[in-house]
Amino acid sequence: MTDRELVDLACGMRALAYAPYSGYRVGAALLCRDGSVVTGCNIENVSYGATICAERTALAKAISEGKTDFVKLAVCASGDAPASPCGICRQTISEFTSDDFEILCANEKGNYQVYTLAQLLPNAFALKGRGDDK
Sign (positive/negative) of CA torsion 82, 86, 90, 95?
negative
Is 19 near ligand THU (CB under 6 A)? yes
The string of DSSP codes covering 62-85 is: HHHTT---EEEEEEEESSSSPP--
Residues 39-68 vs ligand THU: string with x where CB under 6 A? ---x-x------x-xxx-------------
Are 38 and 30 within 8 A, CB to CB? Answer: yes
Query: Is 113 an interacting residue with respect to ligand THU (CB under 6 A)?
Result: no
In the complex with ligand THU, the residue whose CB is nearer, 31 or 89, is 89
Stretch that binds ligand THU, among 16-24, 30-38, 65-73, 118-126 (CB under 6 A): 16-24
Q: Is 44 a catalytic residue?
A: no
Q: Which is nearer to ligand THU, 15 or 127 (CB)?
A: 15
Strand-by-strand arrangement of the 112-116 sheet? 37-41, 26-32, 70-77, 102-106, 112-116
Active site residues: 55
